Structure 1
Amino acid sequence: MTVTNVSAYDRGKTALKSLSVDDQLGLLWFVYTKLGKSITPAAPGASGSEIAQGLFNQVKPLPHQEQLQVQRDIASRANTQISREYGSLSPETKLAFWYFLAQGMENGTIIPVPSEYQLPQAGKDLLAKIEGMSFQEQIDFLRGAVLEMGAEAAGGSSI
């Protein structure tokens, strides 16, 4: 019998694929609300954080339905300008971007998850696994999950 240790990062890269795009977005929201503010981006003022804030600032002024479409485009790897910009970001910067979106949902500047939304059983199971991880594993898992999102950037740049 062969035992392999698959890192939380690698598990995160594949885990969300079993969920629909809207359920992936819902799971990210529930991770943020259930795990609290402990999952934060790099130190405020770090270059990745500033870049993520800049991308967030492109989404924030859009009408709510367009904000939702941008998130769906990123999660589904649609070839749009914002999705390509997101695709060029480092895993840390991508995680910071989702953190800023969650904060925006919380303060009303970003379209919230509908109050009647229910995470499907597969999402609930995944959320329970994430909750059972150590803090570092949670961060690594989320880095892996958000890494797979976004369209491929032109020229393969990574910020």
Structure 2
Amino acid sequence: MPANPSRALTENTQNVAKAFFSLSTDDKLALLYLAYEKMGDSITPAEPTAAEPELAPKLLGDYFELSDDEQLQIMRDIVESKDTEYSRAYGALTANNQLVVWYAWAIAMGDTVVDMPEDYEITESIQNVLNHIEDLDFEGQITVLREVAQNMGYSDVKRVTSTQETGVTPSL
């Protein structure tokens, strides 16, 4: 879990996000796929008018032309926030557009996106986090998924510390 989780998270959604971030890289990828598979269109995007998929041509265009191994490595790099071309492209997007990327990849899995192995078995850890996500109301689910999405990828832009966090009012 990021050092400073979003203040928009309730204690319950913070716990679900922390559980997600405690998973291994491949378990995180599996959970994202399963969440989109189970919840489908209800999480895509959270606010359709707020998402602009044309802003992610590398992730929603070029990516589909790559080999399965290359696609999987890109997903892993994004989840691990590695400094790569694709991870930077992802990190430059808004949280809503990041959700669109995961949605587009999830619905294309097995077609133009690398699929989960046929013999893949969901671990207890993944199932527990998925159950917690499903137990949240719609707004809680979207909040958790936004938190997860925006804490992946790479960006040089540093988060601005709030007055509430520092206790200091900036001066002019």
Q: TM-score range by the shorter chain?
A: 0.7 to 0.9
Unaligned 5+ runs, structure 2: 1-9, 160-172
Look up the match of 1:77: 81
Letter paired with 2:109: M
| Matched residue count | 150
In 1, distance between residues paired with 2:128 and 2:146? 19
Aligned CA RMSD, in angstroms, stands at: 2.3
The answer on whether the counterparts of 2:71 and 2:114 sit within 8 Å (CA) in structure 1 is yes
Task: Quickly say closer, same or farther: Cα 1:155–1:19, change in 2 above 3 A.
Answer: closer
Change (3 A) 1:47 1:18: closer
Q: Secondary structure at 2:65's aligned position in 1?
A: coil
Change in Cα spacing, 1:115 to 1:155, as seen in structure 2 (3 Å) is same
Shift of 1:52: 3.7
Change (3 A) 1:137 1:53: farther
Which structure has greater helix proportion?
1
**Which of the numbers 108, 112, 115 marks the counterpart of 1:109?**
112
Larger radius of gyration: 2
Identity rate of aligned residues, in percent?
35
Measure how far apart 1:136 and its partner are: 1.3
CA distance, structure 1, for counterparts of residue 145 and residue 151 of structure 2: 10
Cα–Cα, structure 1 residues 137 and 47, in superposed 2: closer, same or farther, change >3 Å?
closer
3-state DSSP class of the match of 2:52? helix
Please state how far the C-alpha of 1:137 moved relative to its aligned partner. Answer: 1.0
1:17 shift after superposition: 1.8
Matched, 1:24 2:28: yes
| Aligned amino acid, residue 11 of structure 2 | V
Q: Please state if 1:48 is matched with 2:52.
A: yes
Structure 1: state its 5+ residue gaps.
none
**TM-score, normalised via structure 1 length:** 0.83
CA drift of 1:128 comes to: 0.4
* TM-score, length basis structure 2: 0.78
Higher relative CO (Cα under 8 Å, sequence separation at least 6) belongs to: 1
- 2:123 counterpart letter in structure 1: P
**Counterpart position of 1:6:** 11
